[in-house]
Amino acid sequence: MPERTPQDIETPALLVDLNAMEQNLRTMARFFCNRPARLRPHFKNHRVLELAERQMELGAIGITCARLWQAERLVRRGIRSVLIANEVAGDGDLRRFVELSREAPVLLAVDHEEVVRELGRLARSSGVQLNVVVDVELGLKRCGVAPGQPAAELAKAAVAEGLQFRGLMGYEGHLQLLAPGSEKETVVSRAMQSLADTRALIEAEGIPVSVVSCGGTGDYRTAGSYPGITENQAGSYLLMDRSYAAAAPDFHETLVVLATVISVTPGERIVVDAGVKAVSGERGLPVVKNMPGLRLRALHAEHAPIDILEPGVALKPGDRIELAVHYHDATVNLHRRMFGVRNGVVEREFTIEH
């Protein structure tokens, strides 16, 4: 079969640079291979089962995910050590979690006494062991209970309800994108310390804590080395993007959206066939890769108009350009497939789970 190149792919298409991605994979794996904290990378960003398997092969102790359905796919693929780093609520979803727990000891984040009580009832009526970690709020102001006593109370409630209390998680998402440096280290360490203190408080009650999960790509060095922390949830490191790059200089951007020029107004603009349905405009507009004479003006629904800033840009309809992805998590979500490219050849095609 002849080699396929990006030129042969229908656009708009999501391309990943395999060399860059594999370097990211190895850089993070190497960091976590010989320290107390281990890597449990997040699945929500890439949602490719093969890539989760690859992360496991390189030493990850399990996978973190955001949704019940993601945990179901991972377990059914054979990855049994899964953390759902978010709350689940509602009768239907809590029952699905019980069913999943028959298959594998999936960890679920909890932050509310009522859910803990409901899970306790379900555990007793089903006879299934349900594993939970208490979600601790570290300043992001999203999910989680306050560190210290409130978290310890919820841990005790989980134990009293007969749940398998496994430990704690926290996500200092508001600190991830800070520029690297000593100031960032200070605030990240403070968040880690409040998790470690909460752990100590719970252990002092005679309740064992085996999991303390936190951290991301933007603070993995500090969070992943902090005493009392057992695992790191970094996810963005694998595919990386423009919006994250300054906060995570150890990793390479890997993604572009390939687009076709469908209209040319000479000296003024081109229009490509990729708009907000193919590349996210959240957090900022994508830029045209390797063509400084072009500036993306806006993302429309189905296209992007791109202004020509320098004379001499000689594109014609049918030519291809690449948009460097600004925010990969929302962009990957817009695609069903991701094409793995190495040295100009499409080497493989990944299925993105939905």
89 contacts a second copy (rule: CB under 8 A) = yes
Compute how many residues bind a second copy; rule: CB under 8 A: 56
Query: With helix as H, strand as E and coil as C, how does 49-110 read?
Result: HHHHHHHHHCCCCCEEECCHHHHHHHHHCCCCCEEECCCCCCHHHHHHHHHHHHHCCCEEEE
Rounded least distance, CB 341 to a second copy, Å: 18
Closest CA to 134 of 216, 75, 199, 81: 199
Examine residue 38 and tell whether it contacts a second copy (CB under 8 A): no
SS3 state at 319: coil
Amino acid at 168: L
**How would DSSP label each residue in 269-283?**
EEEES--TTTS--TT
* Per-residue contact flags (x/-) with a second copy for residues 158 to 197, judged by CB under 8 A: ---------------x------------------------
Residues 294 to 323 in contact with a second copy, rule: CB under 8 A: 299-303, 305, 316-318, 320
Nearer to a second copy, 29 or 262 (CB): 262
Q: How far is CA 56 from CA 38, 62, 171, 247, in A?
A: 11, 7, 22, 25
Counting contacts by CB under 8 A, is residue 276 touching a second copy? yes
351 touches a second copy by CB under 8 A: no
Query: Whose Cβ is closer to a second copy: residue 120's or residue 144's?
Result: 144
The CA–CA distances, whole Å, from 223 to 38, 48, 103, 120, 232 equal 11, 25, 31, 32, 7
Is 153 a binder of a second copy (CB under 8 A)?
no
Q: Which residue number, 152 or 261, has a Cβ lying nearer to a second copy?
A: 261
User: Token pair 């998790």 is at which residue?
Assistant: 195
The stretch near a second copy (CB under 8 A) out of 5-13, 193-201, 208-216, 244-252 is 5-13
Confirm or reject binding of residue 277 to a second copy (CB under 8 A). Answer: yes
**Smallest distance, Å, CB 182 to a second copy?**
28
The residues with which 212 forms a beta bridge, in sequence order, are 168
Spell out the alpha helix ranges (H) of the chain. 18-32, 49-57, 68-76, 91-103, 113-126, 149-160, 182-204, 220-223, 242-245, 328-332
CB under 8 A: which stretch of 72-80, 206-214, 272-280, 340-348 binds a second copy? Answer: 272-280
Name which of 3 and 10 has its Cβ closer to a second copy: 10
Looking at residue 248, its amino acid is A
By CB under 8 A, is residue 115 in contact with a second copy? Answer: yes
User: What residues line the site for a second copy (CB under 8 A)?
Assistant: 8, 10-11, 44, 66-67, 86-93, 111-112, 114-115, 135, 137, 141-144, 173, 260-265, 268-269, 271, 273, 276-277, 280-282, 299-303, 305, 316-318, 320, 329-330, 333-334, 336, 354
